[in-house]
């Protein structure tokens, strides 16, 4: 038997997505006699729970993201491809994707794991996206960091203090964990870091507004933790508006319950929608568009296709599994183990069951609300537990060390990791106006 025939007998496993679910599946297949191809639209694995810290200048992008190839560098059965999947053919068992220089590249599979995550959802108002960016990837985080820092620079250059209020109003739409963490982080940024560096900006002119239709912040947490989080937000100067929806968002601000709030920085922290995996597969989905899977995370009638994480819809104890990182990690690990058992002929694991380790949310420096089973904690001790857990789940040891040292430094001094405005052209309008002015004057004279 030649090498070509031998390669054909080796199972081909394709994993789409290098997030928590996809990476967990790949690692679980480390010792599987198979050819694994992981396809992702970026070349890095992102630790999304800390994205808000990049957006608020605590950490740098490199401290929460690691090249997927480096994470899997010792896994000889795995190949990483930078590409964007566009279709899945279930009958021919192929995945189609685009690379940097080619379109419609085909990758065959014997087993397929879809771990494609989520994207922003503006609840039927796609026009909001232009004025209210969300926070799902590194580009989003850097763009939001640019907007926040640019607002302070604009205020510093503005001689009229009456205009500072509108320039330094930050509106966050959505009071879930992302919204609460972002709002409180902006509050700490103003109080701890920026107040001593700007001469014309009065910290009292900064306004942070957190708005949500829900009756309380952190609605998935127990009520006592929700109330503790709100008190902490208000102590940090965050204005919390609940039970009110956003009617309009434009370049001048937002309209909430008929009242306009002038703001140059609106951040969308509300809804998410699953990837188009359901459309690729042409299978049954739930109302949100997530693929309905069986108890072993496979697609009905297609036991070779697994869907994990935010893209999957599965009920446990009559409740849908939440879209959190631990569900994706445990689901990806389970899919990898089941595929390994099928390939090697080992005993397969039983149905997938998610073990809920609890929920955490940071509300400013040194304060976390934590719920695990019947245990509810808030304050500094909960923050220490949060820090340990998050450090452990960073992809590389070098990242763990770097983030730990940065957190200690920031906590002790208030100094941030990166407050750089990048990929920004603050003078483009002025230059354009200057370059056009002689032409306008010439036209006026000729007229």
Q: In sequence order, what are the residues at sequence separation of 6 or more whose Cβ sits closer than 8 angstroms to the Cβ of residue 1? A: none
The token pair that represents 225 in the structure block: 């933790």
Distances (CA, A) of 250 to 170, 172, 246, 253: 14, 14, 11, 6
The token pair that represents 125 in the structure block: 């108002």
Report the Cα–Cα distance between both ends of the chain, in Å, rounded. 86
DSSP conformational letter for 142: H
User: What are the backbone dihedrals phi and psi of residue 126, each rounded to the nearest 5 degrees, phi first?
Assistant: -60, -20
Q: Which residues pair with 238 in a beta bridge?
A: 208
Tally of CB atoms within 10 A around 422: 10
User: What are the backbone dihedrals phi and psi of residue 62, each rounded to the nearest 5 degrees, phi first?
Assistant: -70, -15
DSSP element (H, E) containing 266: strand 265-268
Tally of CB atoms within 10 A around 420: 12
The one catalytic residue among 181, 224, 234, 259: 181
Assess whether 181 carries a catalytic annotation. yes
Distances (CA, A) of 75 to 8, 45, 68, 362, 394: 20, 16, 11, 35, 18
Residue 366: half-sphere exposure toward Cβ, Cα within 13 Å: 10
Helices (H), 190-250: 223-235
The token pair that represents 386 in the structure block: 């949060």
Distances (CA, A) of 107 to 29, 88, 304: 19, 10, 15
The token pair that represents 408 in the structure block: 């200690």
The token pair that represents 104 in the structure block: 């419609």
CB 113, CB 25: distance < 8 Å: yes
CB 83, CB 99: distance < 8 Å: yes
Q: Among all chains, which residue has been given the structure tokens 């697609």?
A: 299
Work out whether strand 368-372 and strand 94-98 pair parallel, antiparallel, or are unpaired.
unpaired
Which residues participate in catalysis according to the annotation?
A: 181
């Amino acid at each position: 038997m030649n090498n070509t025939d031998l390669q054909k007998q080796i199972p081909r496993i394709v994993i789409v997505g290098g997030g928590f679910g996809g990476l967990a599946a790949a690692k679980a297949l480390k010792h599987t006699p198979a050819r694994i191809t992981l396809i992702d639209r970026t070349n890095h694995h992102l630790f999304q729970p800390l994205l808000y810290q990049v957006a608020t200048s605590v950490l740098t992008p490199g401290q929460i993201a690691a090249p997927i190839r480096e994470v899997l560098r010792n896994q000889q059965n795995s190949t990483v491809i930078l590409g964007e999947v566009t279709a899945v053919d279930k009958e021919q068992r192929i995945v189609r994707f685009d690379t940097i220089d080619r379109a419609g590249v085909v990758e065959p599979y014997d087993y397929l794991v879809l771990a494609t995550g989520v994207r922003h959802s503006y609840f039927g108002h796609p026009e909001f996206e232009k004025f209210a960016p969300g926070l799902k990837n590194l580009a989003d985080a850097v763009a939001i960091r640019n907007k926040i820092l640019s607002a302070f620079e604009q205020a510093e250059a503005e001689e009229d203090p009456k205009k500072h209020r509108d320039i330094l109003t930050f509106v966050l739409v959505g009071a879930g964990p992302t919204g609460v963490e972002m709002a409180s982080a902006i509050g700490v940024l103003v109080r701890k870091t920026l107040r001593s560096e700007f001469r014309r900006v009065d910290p009292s002119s900064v306004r942070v507004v957190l708005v949500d239709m829900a009756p309380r912040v952190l609605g998935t947490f127990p009520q006592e933790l929700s109330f503790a989080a709100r008190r902490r937000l208000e102590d940090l100067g965050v204005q919390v508006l609940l039970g009110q929806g956003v009617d309009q968002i434009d370049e001048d601000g937002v309209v909430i319950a008929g009242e306009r709030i002038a703001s140059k920085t609106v951040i969308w922290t509300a809804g998410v929608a699953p990837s188009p995996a359901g459309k690729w597969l042409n299978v049954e989905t739930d109302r949100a568009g997530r693929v309905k899977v069986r108890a072993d995370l496979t697609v009905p009638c297609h036991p070779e296709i697994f869907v994990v994480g935010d893209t999957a819809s599965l009920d446990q104890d009559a409740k849908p599994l939440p879209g959190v990182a631990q569900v994706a990690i445990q689901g990806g690990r389970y899919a990898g183990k089941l595929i390994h058992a099928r390939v090697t002929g080992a005993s397969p694991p039983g149905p997938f069951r998610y073990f809920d380790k609890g929920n955490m949310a940071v509300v400013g420096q040194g304060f976390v609300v934590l719920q695990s089973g019947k245990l509810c904690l808030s304050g500094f001790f909960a923050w220490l537990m949060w820090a340990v857990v998050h450090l452990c789940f960073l992809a590389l040891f070098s990242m763990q060390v770097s983030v730990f040292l940065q957190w200690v430094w920031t906590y002790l001094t208030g100094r941030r990791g990166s407050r750089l405005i990048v990929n920004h052209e603050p003078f483009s309008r002025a230059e354009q106006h200057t370059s056009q002015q002689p032409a306008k004057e010439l036209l006026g004279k000729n007229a």
